[in-house]
């Protein structure tokens, strides 16, 4: 007869001492109350974005949980020369045993920013998936109807060389300007908005790359690699290339966003997309390419520029540093406007290449300048004299 000996197994003991078991006055609340909502009621965007990033200037009593090899922790405010209220106050002393010392020191004015697009993870995936789905359907419909056969040969050369070249701008700025600025910005509200901007640019570059592959399959003799030679060697593109590379080398994250979205995009990006490609394409038998570049145009005009204006309006109206910020932004405006106008003018030969011409280059540039002027004046800055070039 075999007897079974009972095994000795440790049993879990619940003491009810866990923090989650405690009851607080707001334990039954269904919304966070550690921040003040921008409007009368807090939004889901604010719940998943505001104060998610720990900041010893506000709540984190033990100092930064992470840092760099030079001893700096987290997100130093000196990563930009612009300032928001409270920036000049010394950080409170934090460390083991300091408890709540310094909690009366408020978070700086950087924490006031709210993205009017209310971007976060779900909105990013939802928006980009809708854009990709629509672009894919447009291209597939064009393939099935043999729409590419309507293109004249001169327009085929234009698309393979010059429309394809723009993917290098989108890829470079998305990966090396906006992604870098996202890491250096001081709050989650900035991080989310800027990282979404980065994804818009990278997706737009991917849209053009996939479109280039499709055209290589659908159009006999289409040179899918022509855009590389154009970007590297065509004199008409070297001004834009030089400017794009200079933008990616900016160290100050605020200057990078300002130069790209306030100056470069209205004066060069929208000039190329709206005043050239979308104007010339229909007359040359192409009703597909405008839907590709139009998606990128909407990204900027209706979403990326919107958060950019909200971000810099706070800084030009700051309760402590408005004059300081305006002076710096005015210098940036003058500097980058001169470079953008010079780069835009190097593109002028492209206007004469399609068989059916778009409106005059000077007319398109005047419209771009007017658009840019409205953005700058709306931020409380003066129109730069360099705009007359």
Residue 235 has pLDDT above 80, yes or no: yes
Query: Using 50, 70 and 90 to split pLDDT, how confident is the model at 56?
Result: confident
pLDDT value, residue 26:
72
Mean pLDDT lowest among 1-5, 273-277, 368-372? 1-5
Mean pLDDT lowest among 10-19, 105-114, 145-154? 10-19
pLDDT value, residue 88:
85
CB-based contacts of 13: which residues, under 8 Å, 6+ apart? none
Residue 17 has pLDDT above 70, yes or no: no
Its pTM stands at 0.90
Residue closest to 121 by CA, chosen among 193, 38, 201, 204: 193
pLDDT value, residue 29:
76
pLDDT value, residue 93:
67
Query: Using 50, 70 and 90 to split pLDDT, how confident is the model at 102?
Result: low
User: Would you call 42 exposed, middle or buried from its count of C-beta atoms within 10 A (0-12, 13-18, 19+)?
Assistant: middle
255-264 residues labelled b (16+ CB within 10 A) or e (exposed): bbbbbbbbbb
56-72 residues labelled b (16+ CB within 10 A) or e (exposed): bbbeebebbeeeeeeee
Q: What is the mean pLDDT of residues 88-117?
A: 73
CA distance 285 to 280: 9
What are the pLDDT digits (tens) for 199-210? 999 999 999 999
What are the pLDDT digits (tens) for 349-363? 999 999 999 999 999
CA distance 317 to 308: 14
Angle of helix 235-248 relative to helix 322-346, nearest 10 degrees, comes to 160
C-alpha neighbours within 13 Å on the C-beta side of residue 55: 21
pLDDT value, residue 264:
98
pLDDT value, residue 108:
82
Contact 320, 121 (CB under 8 A): no
CA distance 11 to 141: 64
Query: Residue 73 pairs with which residues in a beta bridge?
Result: 67
Residue 164 has pLDDT above 60, yes or no: yes
274-301 residues labelled b (16+ CB within 10 A) or e (exposed): bbbbbbbbeebbbebbbbbbbbbbebbb
Residue 148 has pLDDT above 90, yes or no: yes
What are the pLDDT digits (tens) for 301-344? 999 999 999 999 999 999 999 999 999 999 999 999 999 999 99
Mean pLDDT lowest among 47-56, 220-229, 232-241, 269-278? 47-56
Longest Cα–Cα distance of the chain, Å, equals 105
pLDDT value, residue 35:
77
Residue closest to 45 by CA, chosen among 314, 307, 315, 379: 307
Query: Using 50, 70 and 90 to split pLDDT, how confident is the model at 62?
Result: low
Residue 1 has pLDDT above 60, yes or no: no
**Residue 87 CB neighbour total at 10 angstroms:** 19
pLDDT value, residue 27:
75
Q: Which residue's entry shows tokens 């009621």?
A: 41
CA distance 175 to 181: 10
Helix %, strand %, coil % of the chain (to 5): 60, 0, 40
CB-based contacts of 257: which residues, under 8 Å, 6+ apart? 178, 181, 194, 197, 308, 311
Residue closest to 324 by CA, chosen among 82, 76, 79: 82
* 183 vs 17 pLDDT, higher one: 183
Residue 103 has pLDDT above 80, yes or no: no
Structure tokens at 189: 């509200």
DSSP state of 150: G
pLDDT value, residue 241:
98
pLDDT value, residue 309:
98
pLDDT value, residue 104:
60
pLDDT value, residue 70:
85
Q: Which residue's entry shows tokens 């940036």?
A: 332
Contact 114, 46 (CB under 8 A): yes
């Amino acid at each position: 007869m075999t007897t079974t000996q009972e095994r000795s197994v440790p049993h879990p003991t619940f003491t009810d001492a866990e923090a989650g078991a405690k009851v607080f006055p707001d334990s039954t609340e269904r919304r966070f109350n550690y921040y003040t909502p921008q409007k009368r009621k807090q939004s889901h965007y604010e719940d998943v974005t505001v104060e998610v990033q720990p900041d010893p200037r506000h709540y984190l009593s033990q100092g930064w949980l992470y840092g760099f090899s030079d001893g700096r922790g987290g997100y130093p405010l000196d990563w930009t020369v612009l300032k928001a209220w409270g920036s000049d106050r010394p950080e409170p002393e934090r460390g083991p045993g300091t408890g709540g010392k310094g909690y009366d020191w408020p978070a700086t004015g950087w924490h006031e920013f709210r993205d009017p697009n209310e971007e976060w993870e779900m909105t990013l995936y939802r928006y980009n998936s809708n854009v990709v789905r629509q672009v894919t359907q447009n291209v597939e419909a064009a393939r099935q109807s043999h729409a590419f056969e309507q293109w004249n040969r001169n327009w085929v050369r234009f698309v393979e060389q010059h429309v394809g070249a723009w993917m290098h701008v989108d890829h470079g700025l998305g990966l090396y300007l906006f992604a870098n600025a996202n890491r250096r910005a001081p709050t989650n509200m900035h991080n989310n908005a800027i990282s979404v901007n980065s994804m818009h640019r990278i997706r737009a570059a991917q849209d053009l790359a996939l479109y280039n592959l499709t055209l290589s399959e659908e159009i006999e003799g289409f040179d899918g690699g022509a855009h590389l030679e154009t970007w590297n060697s065509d004199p008409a593109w070297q001004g834009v290339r030089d400017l794009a590379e200079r933008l990616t080398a900016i160290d100050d994250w605020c200057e990078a966003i300002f130069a790209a979205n306030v100056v470069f995009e209205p004066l060069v990006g929208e000039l190329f997309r709206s005043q050239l490609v979308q104007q010339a394409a229909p007359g040359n038998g192409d009703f597909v390419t405008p839907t590709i570049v139009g998606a990128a145009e909407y990204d900027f005009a209706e979403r990326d520029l919107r958060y950019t204006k909200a971000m810099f309006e706070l800084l030009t109206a700051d309760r402590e540093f408005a004059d300081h910020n305006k002076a710096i932004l005015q210098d940036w405006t003058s500097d980058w406007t001169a470079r953008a106008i010079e780069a835009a003018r190097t593109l002028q030969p492209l206007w004469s290449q399609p068989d059916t011409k778009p409106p005059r280059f000077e007319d398109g540039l005047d419209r771009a300048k007017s658009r840019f002027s409205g953005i700058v004046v709306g931020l409380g800055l003066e129109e730069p004299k360099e705009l007359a070039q």
